[in-house]
Amino acid sequence: MAFPHKLIIITAPSGSGKTSITKHLMQHFPQLAFSVSAATRAARGKEVDGVDYHFISEEDFKQKIREEAFIEWEMVYEGKYYGTLKTELERIWLQNKIPVLDIDVKGAIHVQQQFPSTSLSLFIQPPSVEELKKRLMGRGTESEESLQARLNKAAYELSFKQHFNEVIINDQLEKAYAEATKIVGDFLQD
Ligand code: 5GP
Q: How far is the CA of 184 from the centre of ligand 1 (A)?
A: 21
> Does residue 157 have its Cβ closer than 6 Å to ligand 1?
no
Task: State pLDDT tens for residues 24-45.
Answer: 999 999 999 999 999 999 998 8
Domain extents in the chain: 7-189
Report CA-CA distances (Å) from 28 to 22, 137, 155, 178.
10, 30, 31, 11
Instruction: Dump the DSSP string for 104-119.
Output: -HHHHHHHHHHSTTTE
Q: Which atom of ligand 1 is nearest to the CA of 12?
A: 10
pLDDT score recorded for residue 4: 66
Q: How far is the CA of 145 from the centre of ligand 1 (A)?
A: 21
Q: How confident is the model at residue 3 (pLDDT cuts 50, 70, 90)?
A: low
Q: Which atom of ligand 1 is nearest to the CA of 76?
A: 8
pTM (2 decimals)? 0.92
pLDDT(162) > 60? yes
pLDDT(1) > 80? no
Q: SS3 for 164?
A: coil
Q: Domain spanning 7-189 has what CATH number?
A: 3.40.50.300
Task: State pLDDT tens for residues 104-115.
Answer: 999 999 999 999
Task: State pLDDT tens for residues 72-86.
Answer: 999 988 889 999 999
> Does residue 14 have its Cβ closer than 6 Å to ligand 1?
yes
Q: How far is the CA of 102 from the centre of ligand 1 (A)?
A: 7
